[in-house]
A and B are shown apart, each in its own frame.
Chain A
Amino acid sequence: MRVFLFLFMCLVSLLSIAQGLDTLKSTSPDTSLNSKIVKPDPKIRYKALSISIPYKKVRDEGHSPLTHRGPSIQLATFNERWRSKKGVTRSITKFEMVLGIGLIRTNKNKVSSITQASTLYMDINYQYMRPIKKLFNGKGEWFLGALVTNTFDGRYYTFLPNNSFGYEFSNVINPATEFTYKFSFGKIDRNYQIGFKLNTALLAHVVRPNFIGMEPAETYMDENIKPLAILTNGNKIVLPNRFFRINTEIYLDRFKKSNNDKFRFYYGWGLHVTRLPSSNPLYVATHTIGFVRMLYSKKEKIKKIN
């Protein structure tokens, strides 16, 4: 059953990733059966690279009653695609990959023996948003949508002799919303946009072992299925009462008027709590500041359709 659940959620994740990868491809413009020259809606895309510094507070009660905290380095890349029809934006899709490493440690003022752990996490996210309403005479906009996140969050507690490796693997469906507002300052040759994003977990598939020690499943399983057994041990599909996660982000974009490339500065905050009945709880709070360089591309093709 565990293996089935795991494979099913992997399939869902793969489908979402495939959909994300699809945004990297070009699609055919809206065609007409009439033999005439049509001007399809332009394809607008942002390709982005991001560097940020998350400050994490982690309390994994499977390993320690103490909060370990510290900075990480996070690199991300995403591809954002705007679909429009007759000049009106219909949807925005975003495919994002994130990789972060860091070091967390106990507060030296509170313990007589400082301990530390290294962290490694990877996210593959796919987001779909639709504009719902224009605000403030068209300068502001409200979006609603959903985000599918596939996350591996691992920690290596070097000070624990037997159960030093802690990890959680999750596939999560998150409703999401975003508000934006564009503005400019008189003669300055730049446009600006501020935005606020929020998403929260609705349904999660979680793999979190109970970390009682060297897992019997890991120790004694047949070598051929051991990797799968390790991944599926502690496998659950849960609601927010068991897996709660909320992420918010406030950002400021600066556009070049000439080519619409963006430079984004953002502050993000996230809280994540996993409370499975079979394992000790995990609490993670993250404060992030980061920069994103977003390269704008707009292609307009004139095609003769027969």
Chain B
Amino acid sequence: MKKLLFFLLLSITGLIISSCEKLFIEPDPKNTPKECFESMWKRIDEKYSFLEYKHINWDSVKAVYQSQVHDDMNDVELFRVLDSMLYTLKDGHVNLIAPFNISRNWEWYLGSPQNFNYSVLERNYLGDNYYITGPFKNQIFLYNTKRIGYFHYSSFSDNFSDYHLDFILSRFSTTEGLIIDLRDNGGGITNNVFKLLNRFVKEKTLVGRCYEKNGKGHSDFGIAYEMYGEPSKDEKGNTSIQYLTKPIVILTNRSCYSACNMFAGFMSVLPNVKIVGDKTGGGGGLPTSYQLPNGWVYRFSSTYTALPNGFNIENGVPPTIKQDMNPINVANGIDDILEKALQQF
């Protein structure tokens, strides 16, 4: 009897302990439009990194859109309201992803001239004998008897190897300048930013600082992560082939976003670099993503990046020389931005 009581007691203890699970893990939030709205508003309020920088009164935004949410609305109606609320952030890194649609704010490039026409570039400048080295389309232009190296990189999501860069920079070793065409480069992997940047820095150079949103207040950021460009080295420890002393011109347009925006900003720190074209599209925050109680996913910026002089690159990096493409010239096969770049050498 004593044994039975003892193990009965142990079993009851076990059951009591296992039932306390509910004390620690709260039930899932309800899948209602109001809960979804509240969850998203609160998360953005606490974690989004640009509310203060962009002078957005997030409480006022709530007041405007909360009244449009009611529990008997359908998914499409809810999506429209949440989309409209997120649109006020004016951020290309902000999206709401539902099974039937993805919301976005692409004003940063749709509201500006495109300033790039690949057909004009290919037919009138690159010709039919340009090299395609990994993701880089490259050519050597002859301009006023000067040899100018040129490559176009269309996405930082496209990976490249050291061999690709070694080949291109060897090919350009006898040129008198270099044009890096980043127009229509929508960003991608930030590691590629540094991999490319490291071929253009003579020594370890501070190129920017990243600040992480780490508190609930709109200005609560952690300490800066300093970002450096550093000459890359090969497997034997020797410095890789670089392009250092000659002038470099970077071509940008408003579709140059996120990682591309960072690259343009970081390169602008170097003394031999000019940016020609339009202001970059921006996107200086690293995005994070989260979920709504109904299962939809949304993402938003949670850091900000500044150049060493403190300039926040969220809204884009301004060009050294502003140049737009004239539609009439485009029709005649002229790339005004590339022409302007060639004039710099």
Chain A facing B: main interface SS:
loop
In the complex with contacts A163-B289, A181-B3, A112-B20 CB distance below 8 A: no
Residues on the B chain within 8 Å of A179, using CB: 10
8 A Cβ contacts from A74-113 to B? 106-107, 110-113
A9 to B293, CA, bound (A): 38
Q: Of the candidates A136, A139, A219, A287, which one forms a contact with B191 in the assembled complex, judged by CB atoms under 8 Å apart?
A: A219
Residues on the B chain within 8 Å of A57, using CB: 21, 25
> Total interface residues on A, using CB and 8 Å?
51
A304 to B292, CA, bound (A): 74
Interface segment among A144-152, A210-218, A293-301: the answer is A210-218
Query: Of all chain B residues, which has the CB nearest A65?
Result: B29
A59 to B6, CA, bound (A): 35
Closest chain B CB from A216 CB (angstroms)? 4
A57 to B288, CA, bound (A): 23
Q: Of the candidates B24, B75, B98, B286, which one forms a contact with A213 in the assembled complex, judged by CB atoms under 8 Å apart?
A: B286
Query: Of all chain A residues, which has the CB nearest B15?
Result: A269
Closest chain A CB from B268 CB (angstroms)? 18
Residues on the B chain within 8 Å of A222, using CB: 228, 230
In the complex with contacts A113-B98, A248-B18, A213-B25 CB distance below 8 A: no
Mark each residue of chain A from 206 to 244: 1 if its CB lies under 8 Å from any CB of chain B, else 0: 000011111011011110000000000000000000001
Q: Does B297 contact A (CB under 8 A)?
A: yes
Q: Does A160 contact B (CB under 8 A)?
A: yes
Q: When the two chains form their complex, are residues B24 and A283 in contact, meaning their CB atoms are under 8 A apart?
A: yes
Q: Does B330 contact A (CB under 8 A)?
A: no
Query: Of all chain A residues, which has the CB nearest B93?
Result: A162
In the complex with contacts A65-B39, A214-B190, A161-B97 CB distance below 8 A: yes
Q: Of the candidates A65, A139, A196, which one forms a contact with B291 in the assembled complex, judged by CB atoms under 8 Å apart?
A: A65
Interface segment among B129-137, B209-217, B318-326, B331-339: the answer is B209-217
Q: When the two chains form their complex, are residues A216 and B212 in contact, meaning their CB atoms are under 8 A apart?
A: yes
A8 to B53, CA, bound (A): 41
Q: Does B227 contact A (CB under 8 A)?
A: yes
Closest chain A CB from B26 CB (angstroms)? 8
In the complex with contacts A162-B299, A212-B302, A67-B25 CB distance below 8 A: yes
Query: Of all chain A residues, which has the CB nearest B17?
Result: A248
In the complex with contacts A136-B3, A212-B302, A110-B210 CB distance below 8 A: no
Mark each residue of chain A from 106 to 149: 1 if its CB lies under 8 Å from any CB of chain B, else 0: 11001111110000000000000000000110011000000000
Q: Does B123 contact A (CB under 8 A)?
A: no
Leading 10 A-B pairs by shortest Cβ distance: A213-B288, A113-B295, A111-B295, A64-B291, A212-B302, A216-B225, A269-B18, A160-B289, A216-B210, A283-B25
